[in-house]
Structure 1
Amino acid sequence: MRKWLYLASAVSAEVTGTLALKGALDSPALYLVAVLGYGAAFIFLSLTLRAGMPLGIAYGIWGATGVALTAVLALVFFAEPLTPVMLVGLACIMAGVILVELGNRENVMDETSNGESE
Protein backbone atom coordinates (compact mmCIF):
# COMPACT_ATOMS: atom_id res chain seq x y z
CA MET A 1 0.00 0.00 0.00
CA ARG A 2 2.88 2.34 0.82
CA LYS A 3 4.29 2.05 -2.70
CA TRP A 4 0.97 3.23 -4.17
CA LEU A 5 0.93 6.27 -1.88
CA TYR A 6 4.47 7.11 -2.96
CA LEU A 7 3.46 6.72 -6.60
CA ALA A 8 0.37 8.93 -6.17
CA SER A 9 2.61 11.53 -4.52
CA ALA A 10 5.08 11.30 -7.42
CA VAL A 11 2.29 11.85 -9.95
CA SER A 12 0.85 14.77 -7.97
CA ALA A 13 4.25 16.43 -7.63
CA GLU A 14 5.06 15.99 -11.32
CA VAL A 15 1.70 17.39 -12.44
CA THR A 16 2.09 20.30 -10.04
CA GLY A 17 5.55 21.02 -11.43
CA THR A 18 4.34 20.87 -15.01
CA LEU A 19 1.35 23.15 -14.38
CA ALA A 20 3.60 25.55 -12.48
CA LEU A 21 5.95 25.62 -15.46
CA LYS A 22 3.10 26.82 -17.67
CA GLY A 23 1.95 29.31 -15.04
CA ALA A 24 5.50 30.63 -14.66
CA LEU A 25 5.25 32.14 -18.14
CA ASP A 26 3.04 34.81 -16.54
CA SER A 27 4.33 34.62 -12.95
CA PRO A 28 8.07 33.84 -12.86
CA ALA A 29 7.95 33.01 -9.13
CA LEU A 30 6.23 29.76 -10.13
CA TYR A 31 9.52 28.50 -11.57
CA LEU A 32 10.46 27.64 -7.99
CA VAL A 33 7.27 25.57 -7.64
CA ALA A 34 8.13 23.81 -10.91
CA VAL A 35 11.63 22.90 -9.71
CA LEU A 36 10.34 21.72 -6.32
CA GLY A 37 7.55 19.74 -7.98
CA TYR A 38 9.92 17.90 -10.31
CA GLY A 39 12.39 17.28 -7.49
CA ALA A 40 9.67 15.87 -5.25
CA ALA A 41 8.38 13.73 -8.12
CA PHE A 42 11.76 12.04 -8.55
CA ILE A 43 12.15 11.54 -4.81
CA PHE A 44 8.71 9.93 -4.54
CA LEU A 45 9.32 7.84 -7.65
CA SER A 46 12.55 6.51 -6.14
CA LEU A 47 10.69 5.71 -2.89
CA THR A 48 8.10 3.86 -4.97
CA LEU A 49 10.82 1.72 -6.52
CA ARG A 50 12.50 1.18 -3.16
CA ALA A 51 9.15 -0.01 -1.77
CA GLY A 52 9.21 -2.80 -4.35
CA MET A 53 7.16 -1.67 -7.34
CA PRO A 54 8.65 -2.85 -10.65
CA LEU A 55 10.19 -0.06 -12.73
CA GLY A 56 8.04 -0.69 -15.82
CA ILE A 57 4.84 -0.50 -13.81
CA ALA A 58 5.86 2.53 -11.75
CA TYR A 59 7.15 4.52 -14.71
CA GLY A 60 4.21 3.57 -16.92
CA ILE A 61 1.61 4.61 -14.38
CA TRP A 62 3.56 7.74 -13.43
CA GLY A 63 3.96 8.85 -17.03
CA ALA A 64 0.48 7.99 -18.27
CA THR A 65 -1.35 9.36 -15.25
CA GLY A 66 0.76 12.50 -15.38
CA VAL A 67 -0.07 13.06 -19.05
CA ALA A 68 -3.79 12.51 -18.49
CA LEU A 69 -4.03 14.71 -15.39
CA THR A 70 -1.93 17.44 -16.96
CA ALA A 71 -4.15 17.53 -20.05
CA VAL A 72 -7.35 17.72 -17.99
CA LEU A 73 -5.99 20.29 -15.55
CA ALA A 74 -4.57 22.40 -18.40
CA LEU A 75 -8.14 22.60 -19.66
CA VAL A 76 -9.35 23.70 -16.22
CA PHE A 77 -6.58 26.17 -15.34
CA PHE A 78 -5.38 27.43 -18.72
CA ALA A 79 -8.41 26.84 -20.99
CA GLU A 80 -6.29 24.66 -23.26
CA PRO A 81 -8.26 22.48 -25.66
CA LEU A 82 -9.03 18.83 -25.00
CA THR A 83 -10.23 17.54 -28.35
CA PRO A 84 -11.94 14.23 -29.07
CA VAL A 85 -8.74 12.97 -30.71
CA MET A 86 -6.80 13.87 -27.57
CA LEU A 87 -9.35 12.00 -25.44
CA VAL A 88 -8.92 8.91 -27.60
CA GLY A 89 -5.16 9.23 -27.19
CA LEU A 90 -5.49 9.49 -23.43
CA ALA A 91 -7.76 6.44 -23.39
CA CYS A 92 -5.14 4.50 -25.38
CA ILE A 93 -2.42 5.51 -22.95
CA MET A 94 -4.49 4.39 -19.99
CA ALA A 95 -5.41 1.12 -21.71
CA GLY A 96 -1.73 0.47 -22.34
CA VAL A 97 -0.85 1.02 -18.69
CA ILE A 98 -3.64 -1.31 -17.61
CA LEU A 99 -2.36 -3.99 -19.98
CA VAL A 100 1.19 -3.62 -18.65
CA GLU A 101 -0.11 -3.91 -15.08
CA LEU A 102 -2.17 -7.00 -15.96
CA GLY A 103 0.87 -8.55 -17.64
CA ASN A 104 2.91 -7.90 -14.51
CA ARG A 105 0.27 -9.51 -12.31
CA GLU A 106 0.29 -12.62 -14.50
CA ASN A 107 4.08 -12.74 -14.19
CA VAL A 108 3.91 -12.37 -10.40
CA MET A 109 1.26 -15.08 -10.20
CA ASP A 110 3.41 -17.42 -12.35
CA GLU A 111 6.45 -16.81 -10.14
CA THR A 112 4.40 -17.38 -6.99
CA SER A 113 2.95 -20.65 -8.28
CA ASN A 114 6.47 -21.83 -9.21
CA GLY A 115 7.66 -21.18 -5.67
CA GLU A 116 9.59 -18.04 -6.50
CA SER A 117 9.08 -14.83 -4.60
CA GLU A 118 8.59 -11.28 -5.94
Structure 2
Amino acid sequence: MKKWLLLAAAILLEVTATLSLRAAMDNPAWYPLVIAGYVGSFYSLSRVLRAGMGLGVAYGFWGACGVALTALLASALFGDALTVPMGVGVVLVVAGVLCVEFGLQAAQAREPRAEGGAR
Protein backbone atom coordinates (compact mmCIF):
# COMPACT_ATOMS: atom_id res chain seq x y z
CA MET A 1 0.00 0.00 0.00
CA LYS A 2 2.85 2.38 0.84
CA LYS A 3 4.29 1.93 -2.65
CA TRP A 4 1.02 2.97 -4.28
CA LEU A 5 0.64 6.03 -2.03
CA LEU A 6 4.17 7.13 -2.89
CA LEU A 7 3.43 6.56 -6.57
CA ALA A 8 0.25 8.63 -6.31
CA ALA A 9 2.28 11.42 -4.69
CA ALA A 10 4.85 11.24 -7.49
CA ILE A 11 2.10 11.45 -10.11
CA LEU A 12 0.32 14.37 -8.45
CA LEU A 13 3.57 16.28 -7.95
CA GLU A 14 4.57 15.76 -11.59
CA VAL A 15 1.16 16.88 -12.86
CA THR A 16 1.28 19.93 -10.58
CA ALA A 17 4.74 20.81 -11.86
CA THR A 18 3.71 20.41 -15.49
CA LEU A 19 0.58 22.50 -15.11
CA SER A 20 2.62 25.11 -13.24
CA LEU A 21 5.07 25.16 -16.12
CA ARG A 22 2.20 26.05 -18.42
CA ALA A 23 1.06 28.78 -15.98
CA ALA A 24 4.64 30.10 -15.77
CA MET A 25 4.49 31.00 -19.45
CA ASP A 26 2.21 33.90 -18.42
CA ASN A 27 3.55 34.51 -14.90
CA PRO A 28 7.15 33.58 -13.93
CA ALA A 29 6.14 33.45 -10.24
CA TRP A 30 5.05 29.85 -10.90
CA TYR A 31 8.63 28.63 -11.54
CA PRO A 32 9.39 27.75 -7.88
CA LEU A 33 6.38 25.41 -7.89
CA VAL A 34 7.60 23.89 -11.17
CA ILE A 35 10.98 23.11 -9.62
CA ALA A 36 9.56 21.87 -6.31
CA GLY A 37 7.02 19.70 -8.09
CA TYR A 38 9.53 17.97 -10.35
CA VAL A 39 12.07 17.49 -7.56
CA GLY A 40 9.37 16.10 -5.29
CA SER A 41 8.04 13.85 -8.02
CA PHE A 42 11.41 12.29 -8.79
CA TYR A 43 12.14 11.89 -5.09
CA SER A 44 8.80 10.14 -4.56
CA LEU A 45 9.40 7.96 -7.61
CA SER A 46 12.80 6.93 -6.23
CA ARG A 47 11.13 6.01 -2.93
CA VAL A 48 8.63 3.86 -4.84
CA LEU A 49 11.52 1.97 -6.44
CA ARG A 50 13.30 1.58 -3.09
CA ALA A 51 10.06 0.20 -1.64
CA GLY A 52 10.25 -2.62 -4.18
CA MET A 53 7.98 -1.69 -7.06
CA GLY A 54 9.38 -2.71 -10.43
CA LEU A 55 10.72 0.07 -12.64
CA GLY A 56 8.53 -0.80 -15.63
CA VAL A 57 5.37 -0.77 -13.56
CA ALA A 58 6.24 2.38 -11.57
CA TYR A 59 7.37 4.37 -14.58
CA GLY A 60 4.49 3.11 -16.69
CA PHE A 61 1.84 4.14 -14.18
CA TRP A 62 3.62 7.42 -13.46
CA GLY A 63 3.81 8.28 -17.14
CA ALA A 64 0.33 7.10 -18.15
CA CYS A 65 -1.47 8.72 -15.23
CA GLY A 66 0.59 11.87 -15.70
CA VAL A 67 -0.37 12.09 -19.37
CA ALA A 68 -4.05 11.46 -18.68
CA LEU A 69 -4.35 13.88 -15.75
CA THR A 70 -2.31 16.59 -17.45
CA ALA A 71 -4.38 16.39 -20.64
CA LEU A 72 -7.67 16.55 -18.73
CA LEU A 73 -6.61 19.32 -16.36
CA ALA A 74 -4.90 21.39 -19.08
CA SER A 75 -8.14 21.29 -21.01
CA ALA A 76 -10.16 22.34 -17.96
CA LEU A 77 -7.74 24.97 -16.64
CA PHE A 78 -6.17 26.41 -19.79
CA GLY A 79 -8.66 25.56 -22.51
CA ASP A 80 -6.19 23.25 -24.29
CA ALA A 81 -7.69 21.05 -26.97
CA LEU A 82 -8.83 17.59 -25.99
CA THR A 83 -10.19 15.88 -29.06
CA VAL A 84 -11.64 12.41 -29.45
CA PRO A 85 -8.45 11.05 -31.08
CA MET A 86 -6.43 12.50 -28.19
CA GLY A 87 -8.79 10.84 -25.70
CA VAL A 88 -8.43 7.53 -27.52
CA GLY A 89 -4.66 7.91 -27.35
CA VAL A 90 -4.76 8.52 -23.61
CA VAL A 91 -6.97 5.45 -23.13
CA LEU A 92 -4.53 3.36 -25.21
CA VAL A 93 -1.57 4.55 -23.13
CA VAL A 94 -3.35 3.61 -19.90
CA ALA A 95 -4.44 0.27 -21.39
CA GLY A 96 -0.86 -0.47 -22.42
CA VAL A 97 0.40 0.16 -18.89
CA LEU A 98 -2.30 -2.11 -17.49
CA CYS A 99 -1.19 -4.84 -19.90
CA VAL A 100 2.38 -4.48 -18.63
CA GLU A 101 1.19 -4.71 -15.00
CA PHE A 102 -1.01 -7.75 -15.60
CA GLY A 103 1.75 -9.41 -17.63
CA LEU A 104 4.19 -8.85 -14.78
CA GLN A 105 1.77 -10.31 -12.26
CA ALA A 106 1.25 -13.38 -14.45
CA ALA A 107 5.01 -13.86 -14.83
CA GLN A 108 5.57 -13.52 -11.09
CA ALA A 109 2.83 -16.06 -10.38
CA ARG A 110 4.61 -18.60 -12.60
CA GLU A 111 8.15 -18.19 -11.25
CA PRO A 112 9.22 -19.74 -7.97
CA ARG A 113 10.16 -17.21 -5.29
CA ALA A 114 13.70 -17.52 -3.96
CA GLU A 115 13.92 -17.34 -0.18
CA GLY A 116 15.64 -14.13 0.88
CA GLY A 117 16.59 -13.24 -2.68
CA ALA A 118 16.47 -9.74 -4.08
CA ARG A 119 13.83 -8.88 -6.58
TM-score by structure 1 length?
Answer: 0.95
Q: Is the aligned partner of 1:102 residue 2:102?
A: yes
1:107, distance to aligned residue in structure 2 (A): 1.5
Q: What letter matches 1:2 in structure 2?
A: K
Q: What letter matches 1:83 in structure 2?
A: T
Q: What letter matches 1:108 in structure 2?
A: Q
TM-score by structure 2 length?
Answer: 0.94
Q: Which segments of 5 or more consecutive residues in structure 1 lack a partner in the other structure?
A: none
- Deviation by residue 1:68-105 (Cα, 9 ceiling, x = unmatched): 00000001110111000001100110110000000110
- Deviation by residue 1:6-50 (Cα, 9 ceiling, x = unmatched): 000000000000000000011101011000000000000000000
Q: Distance in 2 between matches of 1:74 and 1:15?
A: 10
The CA RMSD over aligned residues, in Å, is: 1.0
What does 1:40-79 correspond to in 2, within 5 Å? 40-79=40-79
* SS state at 2:32 partner: helix
Corresponding residue number in structure 2 for 1:90: 90
Q: What letter matches 2:102 in structure 1?
A: L
Kindly report structure 1 stretches of 4+ aligned residues shifted beyond 2 Å: 114-118
Q: Distance in 2 between matches of 1:70 and 1:87?
A: 12
Q: Distance in 2 between matches of 1:56 and 1:87?
A: 23
Corresponding residue number in structure 2 for 1:116: 114
What does 1:6-25 correspond to in 2, within 5 Å? 6-25=6-25
Q: Which segments of 5 or more consecutive residues in structure 2 lack a partner in the other structure?
A: none
Quick one: structure 1 residues 11 and 115, their matched pair in 2 at CA, closer, same or farther if it must change by over 3 Å? Answer: closer
1:116, distance to aligned residue in structure 2 (A): 3.1
Amino-acid identity (%): 49
Report the number of matched residues.
116
Corresponding residue number in structure 1 for 2:80: 80
